Amino acid sequence: MDGEEDTTGEAALLKRHRNEKKELQAKIQSMKNSVPKNDKKRRKQLTEDIAKLESEMDEKHKRELEELAASQRAQTQTESVLNGIISLDLENTEPVQQPRVTKAQKRREKKAALEKERDERIAEAEIENLSGARHLESEKLTSLLADRQLQIKQIPSDGHCMYRAIEHQLKEQDNVLTLSNLRSQTADYMRNHADEFLPFLTNSATGEMYTQEEFEKYCTEIESTPAWGGQLELRALSHILQTPIEVIQAESSPIYIGEEYSSKPITLVYMRHAYGLGEHYNSVEQLKVASLESS
């Protein structure tokens, strides 16, 4: 039924994995807070202990995902055999008229199929990235941010991540602009300054620059759908907010947009390998470290 939470299969397993990772990160943070930075011997041991905990969890999650995949393959094979037996029993049975499939049912089936495909892609990405590009990217970003006394503020991966990250930064500055405000103002600004943005938008099928109709559709999607944002939208938001926007990334130097403005920049984190399903933006917050005052 629509709206019901999937409590079985990949979705439930991945949800549990996410919760376990959050719990582990909280535990690691607590461990870090308990060891003074100037105690080099204990900090070295702490680093080894943390690496061991993360490795054990990664191996556990990888093993569970592989076991689930094997179980699902076995179930599929069993169902195929049973269906073959049933087909033999029904060879001489009068054909039964199949009930008419409604449009609503077709939509539900299509939605379920898309969600299953997405869950499978996430599961594959989880296995591939346990010790791969995602882990390395995360470690690099954590180090870069720590040098600035910052840490990642996780933002949901729902298509709104860039706007939600900016919304979080603005709240820290007591600015009341919401996700909806940011999207609608971005679309309006781009419409009113089409000459600045049209040259960078091309039709993927023809390679030609967007027509005015295609550009209007693009702007409509910005304000009314969870369409992902990128550098064009960040440029528009920088002008709207009259604020520079800095995008920190692991694999190259930070991108700085809106250098003409002198106010405190908004800082975002660009994740290339966060989910294996496309780009993702997170926000930042002050690094939470326990006091290092000597007792």
Determine the residue type at 293.
E
- SS3 (DSSP) at 151: strand
Determine the residue type at 249.
Q
Distance of CA 72 to CAs 65, 120, 150, Å?
A: 11, 12, 42
161 catalytic per annotation: yes
Q: How far apart are CA 170 and CA 168, in angstroms?
A: 5
Q: Which of 89, 158, 174, 195 is catalytic?
A: 158
Q: Which of 17, 61, 160, 161 is catalytic?
A: 161
280 catalytic per annotation: yes
Strands (E), 29-138: none
Looking up tokens 């076991």, which residue turns up?
67
239 catalytic per annotation: no
- Cβ proximity of 108 and 1 under 8 Å: no
Distance of CA 114 to CAs 14, 109, 226, 259, Å?
A: 17, 9, 16, 42
Determine the residue type at 198.
L
Give Cβ neighbours of residue 209 (< 8 Å, ≥ 6 apart).
Answer: 198, 199, 201, 202, 203
Q: Which residues are catalytic?
A: 158, 161, 280
